[in-house]
Each structure stands twice: as C-alpha cells, then as structure tokens.
Chains A and B, each alone.
Chain A
Amino acid sequence: MTTLYERLGGQPAVDAAVDIFYRKMLADDKVSGFFEGTDMDKQIAKQKAFLTMVFGGPNNYTGKNMREAHKPLVAKGLNDSHVDAVIEHLGSTLKELGAADADIAEVAAIANGARNDVLNR
C-alpha cells in the first residue's frame, strides 16, 4: 500500500511541480495580486511547503498557523473564488506532470480541507 505522497513521486515531484504551479498562479490575474511585492525566493519556499502538504507529505502545517499566515490576505479580500482558483491550478499542474485522476482528486480534497482555516472562518 503506497501513500499518495509516494505515488505522486515525493520530494522530487514537489520540486518539479512548484515552478509550474507558481507560474500558473502569477499568470492568473484572479490571484496574482496577492503575490505583489513579495519576495519570489520566499514565495517559492512557501509554495513548496504547501505542495508537500497537499501531496500528503511530511509537513508542519497546523490549522492555527494556516489561519495566521492568511489573515493579511483575507483582509485584502481573499475568498472562496481564490481558493477555487488555487485548487484548479493545482489540478492542472498535476495533470501536466502525468498524475492519475484519482490522485488529483485526493490532492484537491486535502487542499479543500484547509479552506476554512485559510479563509479564517
């Protein structure tokens, strides 16, 4: 029985996915505004941590720090439509990398599970 993280390819898969995923986010006017003025190197590191989590890998995310981290963004108008966009980009990134549909759905479910924490509800 392999885990989702193993099936997706572990850390090398995260490394391969991060550029594709972050590029999609920056190119999408719906969400790119939230990355204005942020340091790209730090953002890449954060995206890697995020991808590791939603790939079912080892991570240090808790509901509490998820809330804290997104509080300033919620104040800037972060809402469900932005979370939807993130999950969509996540799915198309995985598709490009050749992941199975069932695994993509599982990743989307993990990401969806963080929705209320992210949106501070």
Chain B
Amino acid sequence: MAAKLSYQGRVYELQDGETVLDGLQRHGQDVPSSCKAGACQSCLMQTHKGNPGSKAQVGLKDTLKAQKFFLACQCVPNEDLNVSLPSLADTTIPAEIVGKEQLCHNVIALRLKPSSDFTCRAGQYINLLRENGSVIRSYSVANLPEQDGVLELHIRRIDNGAMSVWAFDKAEKGDQVHVRGPAGECFYVAADGDQSFPILLAGTGTGLAPLEGVVLDALAQGHKGDIRILHGALNEKDLYHIDMLKKLAKQHKNLTYTPCVLNMEQDKPGFHTGSLDQFVMHIMEPLDKTTLRTYFCGAPDMVNLLKKKVFLAGVASKNIFSDPFIIKN
C-alpha cells in the first residue's frame, strides 16, 4: 500500500516505490530538483506529519534532520506525509553579490557575502537560489570563506541556463540572492594530524573551483606533502586562473600547477598537450600511492575514468574524493 502525500491543500497518492519528487512531478507540481541522486539537495522539502525515512535525510545537517527536512528525490515513504517546500527564511541565508569577474570566455566568478554566519569548507558546494527560490543550482566554493568572509563561485555559462545566463548577463554588485548548505566531502583534512601525504587534484572546466578551494585550504593549514594540481580543457581558451595558480605555485615549493590542453596547435612552455587522464597517471608515477589523496571534479565521464584508473593503480578508495557534477539548463 503506497503512501499518500498532502501538499498545498491537496492529497496525492504515490505509486508503489515512487519517490515524493516523482509523485509530485507526475501530478504536474513544480518541485525544484536537479541531480535526482541525493547529492545536490535542490529538492529539499519538509514534512509536518509522518517520517520521511533516514535514506531521504543522508547528507543533511543535523539541524535540518531534526526539523524533518528531507530530499524528495530519495524519499519513498512508508507512511503518509504532509509535505511543503522549505521557506527561504527557514533554510537559507540572504547574500549580497559583492563582486563579479570574467575568468574566461564562458566562466565568471561571483563573489557573495552572506548576511550572517555561513560555515562552509573550501571545496564544498552550496545551493545558490534566486527568484525567491524558484531557481536553485549548486556551485562549489573556490576560496577560503572563513578568511575572506565571502564565497567565491565559478559559474560556467550554459545555453539557456536559468542561473548562469542571469549570472552572466544580469547579475550585478548589490543584487540579493540566497544561499543554502553546504554539502559535499570534497575538502582538505589532515590525516590524523599528519600533513606529509601527497595530494593530486585534477579537474575540467569549473571543476577547478573546488580543487582551488582544497589547495588554498591545504596551504593555509600548512600542508607539508607534495600538491599537484592539473586543469584540463579541450582548448586553451577554456582555461582560467592560469596566472593566479602559477603565482601560487611559485610561492609554495610543494605546489605545482599544470594546465593540460587536449587540442593545442603547437606545444607551449608551461602547458601540457594531450589527454588529462594520461597525464594524471604520469604525474602520479613518483608519488606514494599508499598515502596519496586524489581529488577529481568536473565532467562526469572524466571524473569516473580518473577515479577508476587511480584506484586500479593502487590508490585507496577512501583517499579518492570527487564531486558529482551536474549540468542543467
């Protein structure tokens, strides 16, 4: 017997095994959602009666769990629920755009200042909301928020993207948005107080954002081991922050940065020409695989390929970190 859902004054019957999100969308209700895998948290809802089940609350902050918030895409309830979309006031913090900068032809950096304390680790992702929460997208934090008091997000322009086109064409300093989160396990932690292990980070596109966050955090915490960061792109024009990362690598002896371009007309000093996955394996060669930590972010096919390759080469699964990357209009 499938559960019944009360939502906005009406009752909907779920089909056997159907999630709350699918059930509401099947009935034409417009519930925000994105990854449908329990990662992005765009489909956050709250129940005022009944239990959503623990699987629907994986990854949520304890404060949200206690208030019976849950992820609609992961919730196949065993009992009747009375659900609502979260109010902005309950789950988000207003933030002001304090900076906007073009990083390359299709990426901008947006800098946001939350109106009150917003605790988040560099490399984690947050939800960015506009239009009173009707448009929600996830972006990684590329800077050290506790140091800067602002959140830096890298936003790639997606054709007809409800958030990215606005961010490129309309957003300006002083505009108000909302932020929610954070989530994700792609951040730096010392290993039982040890900071001598090597770190290898590789990403494509704006997958660089969380990687930059991890590198900045590792350096700020005084990481001693080697850090190798690689940014892959199809063409040179898709790369960004080249000068910033080169400068950072000059300032820190244990850090190297290599931009990798697949389609380069001719080899260029300081750049690697060729595929990112092969270069990752090459860079990894001299590093101690038993302690190596790897961070991969960006295009899902590349991330999955890299995870598998380094795992087969001997990197422990618990030391392979990545962010699910979702591309949505």
Query: Which residues of A have CB within 8 Å of B308?
Result: 26, 40
Report if B316 contacts A (CB, 8 A): yes
Inter-chain contact A19/B317, CB cutoff 8 Å: yes
Report if A27 contacts B (CB, 8 A): yes
A40-61 CB contacts (< 8 Å) to partner B: 40-41, 44
Report if A23 contacts B (CB, 8 A): yes
Report if A5 contacts B (CB, 8 A): no
Inter-chain contact A40/B304, CB cutoff 8 Å: yes
Specify the chain B residue showing the minimal Cβ separation from A48: B317
Q: A40-B304, A40-B307 are in contact. Are A18 and B317 (CB under 8 A)?
A: yes
B297-314 near A? 1/0 per residue, CB < 8 Å: 000000010011001101
Query: Which residues of A have CB within 8 Å of B314?
Result: 23
Q: A19-B317, A22-B317 are in contact. Are A40 and B311 (CB under 8 A)?
A: yes
Q: Bin the interface of chain A by size.
A: 10 to 19
How many A-B contacts are there with CB distance less than 8 Å? 22
Inter-chain contact A23/B304, CB cutoff 8 Å: no
Task: Kindly list 7 other residue pairs between chains A and B, CB separation below 8 angstroms, not including A19-B311, A23-B312, A40-B308.
Answer: A23-B314, A26-B308, A26-B311, A27-B312, A40-B304, A40-B311, A40-B320
Interface centre among B307, B311, B320 (most CB of A within 10 A): B311
Query: Which residues of B have CB within 8 Å of A26?
Result: 308, 311-312
Residue pairs across A and B with Cβ atoms less than 8 A apart, 7 shown, are: A19-B311, A22-B317, A23-B311, A26-B311, A40-B307, A40-B308, A40-B320
Query: Which residues of A have CB within 8 Å of B307?
Result: 40
Specify the chain B residue showing the minimal Cβ separation from A15: B318
B144-179 near A? 1/0 per residue, CB < 8 Å: 000000000000000000000000000000000000
A57-102 CB contacts (< 8 Å) to partner B: none
Bound CA span A18–B311, Å: 12
Query: Which residues of A have CB within 8 Å of B320?
Result: 40
Give the shortest distance, in Å, between A98 (CB) and chain B (any CB): 18
Bound CA span A23–B309, Å: 10
Bound CA span A23–B308, Å: 9
Give the shortest distance, in Å, between A114 (CB) and chain B (any CB): 23
Binding site for B on A (CB under 8 A): 18-19, 22-23, 26-27, 39-41, 44
Bound CA span A39–B311, Å: 13
Inter-chain contact B312/A40, CB cutoff 8 Å: no
Give the shortest distance, in Å, between A81 (CB) and chain B (any CB): 22
Inter-chain contact B316/A19, CB cutoff 8 Å: yes
Give the shortest distance, in Å, between B195 (CB) and chain A (any CB): 23
Query: Which residues of B have CB within 8 Å of A40?
Result: 304, 307-308, 311, 317, 320
Give the shortest distance, in Å, between B325 (CB) and chain A (any CB): 13
Query: Which residues of B have CB within 8 Å of A18?
Result: 317
Give the shortest distance, in Å, between B165 (CB) and chain A (any CB): 30
Interface centre among A26, A27, A40, A44 (most CB of B within 10 A): A40
Specify the chain A residue showing the minimal Cβ separation from B300: A39
Query: Which residues of B have CB within 8 Å of A27?
Result: 312
Bound CA span A44–B316, Å: 11
Query: Which residues of B have CB within 8 Å of A23?
Result: 311-312, 314
Give the shortest distance, in Å, between A86 (CB) and chain B (any CB): 18
Query: Which residues of A have CB within 8 Å of B311?
Result: 19, 22-23, 26, 40
Bound CA span A18–B317, Å: 9
Query: Which residues of A have CB within 8 Å of B317?
Result: 18-19, 22, 40-41, 44
Bound CA span A39–B39, Å: 13
Bound CA span A26–B313, Å: 11
Give the shortest distance, in Å, between A39 (CB) and chain B (any CB): 8
Give the shortest distance, in Å, between B320 (CB) and chain A (any CB): 8
Bound CA span A40–B314, Å: 14
Specify the chain A residue showing the minimal Cβ separation from B320: A40
Query: Which residues of B have CB within 8 Å of A22?
Result: 311, 317
Specify the chain B residue showing the minimal Cβ separation from A18: B317
